[in-house]
Structure 1
Amino acid sequence: MTLSLEWIDEREGGAGPKEEAWMELLERLLNMAGEAEGVDDGIVTVTLTDDEGIRELNRQFRGLDKPTDVLSFSLVETVGEEPLVRFDEEYEGTDGESGAWEDETDAGDPFSDMLGDIVISVPRAEAQAAEYGHSFERELGFLFVHGFLHLLGYDHDNEEREREMFSKQEDVLAKAGLTR
């Protein structure tokens, strides 16, 4: 298996021709960031939304009733040096019934390939690109790589960890030609 990107566009009007170019960019960045981090396979879902959509998620999951630029929902839990994928031992069937897998050896782990979800507010990314004086593609790439690193357990909750995470982001973006 390889790294793959699933795409959801929740904005009114949905995706168009310009979003196809964004998808290609994000797939390339996913592979570059994955290579830099030694992640060879997995599935990442990226959702494009508006400020209201991300505000609702921010309120629901972080208790902050305001829009933000990017949110990450990791399905990977780090234990020591080895990532541990979190999943329930039960699943929800298509008919609405819930229960354990009948034959776990044949069914496999339905979530083992999922690294997590990244949600990006397109209006916020557009505003930040203008504010910082760089292209929208650079801002979108920054937010995506930032979100991807969060999926892998990186954080910026102190100065040292922020330096490490932002250095990794900038390395990937520079390699992709997305400089300020």
Structure 2
Amino acid sequence: MTLGEETLVHKLNLEYRGVDATTDVLSFPLLSPGEELRPPYPVQLGDIVIDCKKVAYQAGLYGVPYLYELSYMVIHSTLHLLGYDHMEPEEEAQMTALQEKYISELEELIL
């Protein structure tokens, strides 16, 4: 995981996704779509790059502590590394439900 800033995230977003803008988090999975995890565990899933200033901004916007928003971004990105996406409404609903499940399990530690 790389905790970076806007310039790095913008550059990576343009280079790897063709999007000329910054974003809060990028995920770079090592597994191919549909490829399943196989023992032995643990396995490296890929790379996560987070724009810390964007996360701080979003925390203020949503009225949540920085650590909560950062945790949410790590969960979101990890789900991407595991093959989840949110391009279609059904996918988004499934991914959002998982994000909410995992963040609620962490709330006691991060709030």
In the alignment, the residues of structure 2 paired with residue 59 and residue 115 of structure 1 have an alpha-carbon distance, to the nearest angstrom, of 22
TM-score by length of 2: 0.88
| Distance apart, 1:83 and its partner CA | 1.1
In the alignment, the residues of structure 2 paired with residue 51 and residue 78 of structure 1 have an alpha-carbon distance, to the nearest angstrom, of 28
Instruction: List, as ranges, runs of 4+ consecutive aligned residues in structure 1 with deviation greater than 6 Å.
Output: none
Letter in 1 for 2:2: T
1:59 and 2:42 matched: no
Q: What residue number does 2:59 align with?
A: 129
TM-score by length of 1: 0.55
In the alignment, the residues of structure 2 paired with residue 177 and residue 124 of structure 1 have an alpha-carbon distance, to the nearest angstrom, of 21
Equivalenced residue count is: 107
Q: How does 1:1-180 map to 2 (within 5 A)?
A: 46-79=1-34, 83=36, 113-177=43-107
Structure with the largest fraction of helix: 2
In the alignment, the residues of structure 2 paired with residue 154 and residue 55 of structure 1 have an alpha-carbon distance, to the nearest angstrom, of 22
Letter in 2 for 1:151: L
Structure with the largest fraction of strand: 1
Q: State percent identity of aligned pairs.
A: 39
Listed one character per residue, the Cα deviations across residues 28-73 of structure 1 (whole Å, up to 9, x for unaligned) are xxxxxxxxxxxxxxxxxx1000001100000100111111000000
| Distance apart, 1:177 and its partner CA | 1.1
Instruction: Give 1 or 2 for the bigger CA radius of gyration.
Output: 1
Letter in 1 for 2:9: I
In the alignment, the residues of structure 1 paired with residue 6 and residue 63 of structure 2 have an alpha-carbon distance, to the nearest angstrom, of 21
Question: Structure 2 vs 1, CA of residues 78 and 67 (structure 1 numbering), >3 Å: closer, same or farther?
Answer: closer
Please tell me the root mean square deviation across aligned C-alpha atoms, in Å: 2.1
Instruction: Identify unmatched segments of 5+ residues in structure 1.
Output: 1-45, 86-111
In the alignment, the residues of structure 2 paired with residue 123 and residue 84 of structure 1 have an alpha-carbon distance, to the nearest angstrom, of 33
Q: What residue number does 1:20 align with?
A: none
In the alignment, the residues of structure 1 paired with residue 37 and residue 78 of structure 2 have an alpha-carbon distance, to the nearest angstrom, of 16
